[in-house]
Amino acid sequence: MIIFEDVYYNQFKMMMGRDKTSLLQFIHDTVPVSQQKAVEIADRFQEKTIAKNEFLLQEGKVCKEFHLLDAGFVWSYTHDVNGDDVTTNFYSNKQVVCEMFSFFKQQPTKENFQALTDCSTWFISFADLQIAFHSMPEFREFGRSMLVTAYADLKQRMLSMVQDTAEERYNLLIHSSPDIFQNAPLKYIASYLGVTSTSLSRIRKEISKR
């Protein structure tokens, strides 16, 4: 409430950086490690902010950073044979934002990662990650767990494409990630679900009738 205090607090934050509580929590949720080891892992991460519409990664470039999204929304997409965008994923909350193939193989990616809103992240560079992997077994476990989780999520999504109707996939998404619908245009969501935006519109109409 008192202006002076706010000014000091903001200066304090500027110097100290954002606090790493959420990052530490994420590490604990990912691998079983002591508080001390979690802090050691978290120390390797730096903060970054990304303005709406900016890119974290662009097609043809090599992914050099592994991000944990602290606030904001990101989408990733690639192009199909006709040159149309196809959404590969949405990221929110405390999710990992990283094109695993390009990052771990250090080869050019086919995907684009773009901020849907202003974002703040914790990130580590590939070079720093390699160093940390080499010196800390706990960090290796953390890295492996990221990959395995991404793999399992992708498999679940692939199975959903095989087994579920477009409407079922829509319902799964709106229940698991309702905030995406506040932050991404429906046409991005349509291509994520594997339908045209025309069909998505009709699916929504059908559901709203009931």
Partner DNA sequence: CTCATTACTTGCCAAATGGCAATTCATTGC
Partner DNA sequence: GCAATGAATTGCCATTTGGCAAGTAATGAG
Distance (Å) of CA 67 to CA 1, 70, 180: 34, 9, 19
Distance (Å) of CA 60 to CA 108, 109, 126: 5, 5, 17
Q: How far apart are alpha carbons 134 and 165 in whole angstroms?
A: 45
- Give the nearer residue to DNA in terms of CB position, either 71 or 166: 166
157 binds a copy of itself (CB under 8 A): yes
- Give the nearer residue to a copy of itself in terms of CB position, either 10 or 149: 149
Binding residues among 144-183 for DNA as defined by CB under 7 A? 165-167
Number of residues that bind DNA (CB under 7 A): 18
Cα dihedral 160→166→168→169 (10° resolution): 50
- When binding is defined by CB under 8 A, the residue of 101, 125, 187, 202 that contacts a copy of itself is 101
154 binds a copy of itself (CB under 8 A): yes
- When binding is defined by CB under 8 A, the residue of 58, 155, 198, 206 that contacts a copy of itself is 155
Token pair in block for residue 203: 């699916």
- Give the nearer residue to a copy of itself in terms of CB position, either 161 or 207: 161
Closest CA to 180 of 165, 194, 190: 190
Distance (Å) of CA 117 to CA 20, 95, 173, 203, 209: 21, 15, 19, 26, 31
CB of 88 to DNA, least distance (A): 16
Contact positions toward a copy of itself, by CB under 8 A?
A: 78, 80-81, 86, 88, 100-101, 104-105, 133-134, 137, 140, 144-145, 147-148, 150-152, 154-155, 157-159, 161-163, 191, 194
